[in-house]
């Protein structure tokens, strides 16, 4: 889908002075606000902005103050799943 923005010329000039690529800046702003509102996931932000990896998306979001919504419950779930993959692993560090 193509979206067209109609901006007053003076505002477009001001924005173009701050963003080298005005259409890209507008697209990134849309992606950020949609992510913050919960309308886009990290994977969808990656797709929309053409990033090669989720690490790139994470860096982009951090740079703009939009952090991953990752709760303690998510961590516990991921830790439990990791233990299924690596039997015998625990939260304690074992000396080598």
> What is the average per-residue pLDDT within 12-33?
94
> What is the average per-residue pLDDT within 75-95?
67
Cβ neighbours of residue 32 closer than 8 Å, sequence gap 6 or more: 61, 64, 66
Whether the model clears a pTM of 0.75, i.e. scores above it, the answer is: no
Average pLDDT score, the chain: 86
pLDDT of 80 above 90 = no
pLDDT of 86 above 70 = no
> What is the average per-residue pLDDT within 40-48?
94
């Amino acid at each position: 889908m193509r979206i067209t923005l109609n901006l007053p010329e003076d505002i477009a000039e001001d924005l173009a002075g701050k963003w080298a690529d005005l259409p890209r800046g507008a697209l990134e702003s849309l992606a950020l606000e949609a992510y913050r509102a919960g309308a886009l996931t990290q994977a969808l932000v990656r797709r929309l902005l053409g990033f090669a990896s989720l690490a790139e998306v994470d860096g982009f979001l951090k740079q703009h103050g939009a952090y991953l919504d990752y709760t303690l419950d998510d961590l516990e779930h991921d830790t439990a799943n990791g233990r299924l993959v690596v039997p015998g692993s625990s939260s304690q560090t074992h000396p080598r």
